[in-house]
Chains A and B, each alone.
Chain A
Amino acid sequence: MAMAVFRREGRRLLPSIAARPIAAIRSPLSSDQEEGLLGVRSISTQVVRNRMKSVKNIQKITKAMKMVAASKLRAVQGRAENSRGLWQPFTALLGDNPSIDVKKSVVVTLSSDKGLCGGINSTVVKVSRALYKLNSGPEKEVQFVIVGEKAKAIMFRDSKNDIVLSVTELNKNPLNYAQVSVLADDILKNVEFDALRIVYNKFHSVVAFLPTVSTVLSPEIIEKESEIGGKLGELDSYEIEGGETKGEILQNLAEFQFSCVMFNAVLENACSEMGARMSAMDSSSRNAGEMLDRLTLTYNRTRQASITTELIEIISGASALEAAK
């Protein structure tokens, strides 16, 4: 009966450690390897102990990464919320027209350089691809400007012919307006556009980030739209000081708007990246903890099974001697 119990134990042990390569189990080096009397192999305690050690290390690392992400998040969050005030006057003045129909749109995709941050980069890429489909058609074209390594890798696979610029290493120094404005300037100089659509993850809370699109129009389109009417049509009711014409002011405003919107977008994306990394590392630590519990149970069972086998051998040896006497 003890044999039957042991056989059942053996069978239960094997599936739970199925991932471990079989070569390690059959290695002659592991000294506490045992074989049940009916040929059922049990896992050695050494193997389980090694696995437990590595899982514990991983848990410590992911916990540390979560702490680091939390502290970075706290730092960037304040700046992101303050930077929202930069583009709000522009939206009040010029309105937000995501559904505007233009010939050349450029989609600026913001993503992170480092990984292990959950699904935020893939959502941003999905939205960019959807924008591409929405905006392509006869006489219309869409081009991509990609910021960040991760989006570059994903978009390289199928949209590489539409990429115009790619930017990396933006997060090397702490984010500041000077950096983003130089980047915005480079984009303006290298790309012709009628409308710029910036795709990024807006930070709502530590667990909620929504992919958002901000649209910035070029000054010519704004002039055209203002003739048509609507919100932009009221631009004429503003008085212009100085010797500049409306066209020039619109050009300055459009460039500055792009720079401010980019600054806010980059900060919000950084916040979302930290938040996503926090929650990804948190769930990894939790999973590692659960795995550790399961491995501990397995380890104890193996240990007890080996003790039982020894006892059985001793007792059966002793009873054989008794019987022989």
Chain B
Amino acid sequence: MASNAAVPFWRAAGMTYITYSNICANLVRNCLKEPFKAESINREKVHFSLSKWSDGKPQKPVLRSDTPQV
């Protein structure tokens, strides 16, 4: 299944292997049938808040979440 190109297409697009595998996992999750599908999507929710620091000071935190707060 691996492409025969010099660099796989997703690597050329700037994705890491982790992003690639996450997208594939999401596709598989969407193929499930109804009760299991809702459960598995519920299970894999992402939420954390990331802030970069420069010169010893934190910048504004970026919230990466599936459920952005209002």
Contact = CB atoms under 8 A, between A and B. Distances in A.
A24 interface: no
A170 interface: yes
Prevailing SS type, chain B contact patch: mixed
19 contacts: A160-B53, A161-B55, A161-B56, A163-B56, A166-B58, A168-B48, A169-B63, A176-B45, A179-B46, A179-B47, A179-B48, A181-B21, A182-B64, A183-B48, A185-B16, A243-B3, A251-B11, A252-B17, A256-B18
Interface of A: 160-161, 163-170, 172-174, 176-179, 181-186, 188-190, 241-244, 248, 251-252, 255-256, 258-259
A167 B16 contact: no
Contact of A181 (B22, B50, B58): B22
A160 B2 contact: no
B14 to A, nearest CB: 9
B17 A251 contact: yes
A166 B2 CA distance: 36
A167 B50 contact: yes
Contacts of A163: 53, 56
B10 to A, nearest CB: 10
B8 interface: yes
Please classify how large the interface on chain B is, using the bins under 10, 10 to 19, 20 to 34, 35 or more.
20 to 34
B53 A169 contact: no
Top 6 closest A-B pairs, CB basis? A242-B2, A160-B56, A178-B44, A243-B4, A252-B17, A255-B17
B47 A169 contact: yes
A79 to B, nearest CB: 11
B11 A248 contact: yes
Contacts of A184: 18
Contacts of B38: none
Contacts of B60: none
Nearest to A240: B2
